[in-house]
Every structure is written in structure tokens, then in C-alpha cells.
Amino acid sequence: MTRFSNANCAVRRDLCRTIRFHESALVCEDHGMCWGILQAGHRVIYEPAAAVFHGHERSLRQEFGWAVDNAISLKRMGILGNPALGGEMRYGIQRIIREWKHFCGTGQYHFAVGSFLVSLVRWLGVQVGKREDKLPKAILRRLSPGTK
């Protein structure tokens, strides 16, 4: 799975002109751009020294809606469910384990539980978003903040 955020990135100008954001994406257009860059044979380099604090404060309901929109977008861009990428479930489980160990190791058990709940809600949202085409439009509009 491609993991990329344009919250703090640099992209060559010629790539920005040729690899565009996907118009069908509700969110996570940066993942689509990253996928396009990789598909064009270029590299994406992670530079940990170029750190930035970036985040969102969302309720569990908002996390669910974001995950629905995320899955819809990644599926429309050909990223989610792409057999060439794989590892979606493995990535999620590894992230849960890593965060659980961190929070429990620092005695912040309430954050460990909160992190697990957010992960569970996001997983449920992804399961809904992956099935965008199978859901009645009225239900999808209630579950997906980005669907009109």
C-alpha cells in the first residue's frame, strides 16, 4: 500500500504537470499522486529530518466517515484492493501493535485503548467504503461526508 502525505513534501514541477490529482478522489489525493509517480518509474524518498506535525482531531464518528471516504477514494484511484500492492491488513495490524506497545510501554493505557478504538472504527469505515457501488445512495450519503 502506498503511504504518502503531501502535508510536507516536495514534488518536481514536471511531475506535478504530468501526474495530476484524481478528480474522483474525495480525500487522499496525495496517495493517488504518489501511486502515479511510482507507476511512472520514479522514486519517492522519505526524509525523516523533514519532519512536520500534522494531524486532525476527529470524533469516532468523524473517523468512520473519513475512513469511508478514504476507501472510496483509494478504490476509485485503483490503489485499494490492487493485488500489486497488497498488505492492507498486515499494515493495519502492525500499526495497532506498534501503537499499543508504545502507549502501554509509557504507561498511557488510555491512549492504547483509544488508538485501538480509532483503528477499529477506521477498519469498519474502510469495509463500508470498499463497497460503495453496492450500497444504496441514500445510505452512502449518510455514511460518507464527501459523497453528495
Does position 23 have pLDDT exceeding 90, yes or no?
no
Q: In the chain, pLDDT over 70 holds for what percent of residues?
A: 94
How many whole angstroms separate alpha carbon 45 and alpha carbon 146? Answer: 30
pLDDT at 95: 86
Kindly report, residue by residue over 53-84, the tens digit of the pLDDT: 878 899 999 999 999 999 999 999 888 877 66
Domain that holds residue 125: 6-143
What is d(CA 112, CA 102) in angstroms, rounded to the nearest whole number? Answer: 8
Q: How many domains does the chain have?
A: 1
In a domain, 73, yes or no: yes
pLDDT reported for residue 6: 77
Location of C-alpha cell 474525495: 26
52 vs 60, more confident:
60
Flag whether the pTM goes above 0.95: no
Within a domain: residue 105? yes
**Cα–Cα distance measured from residue 97 to residue 116, given in angstroms and rounded to the nearest whole number:** 9
**Does the residue 11 lie in any domain?**
yes
Q: What is the pLDDT of residue 4?
A: 74
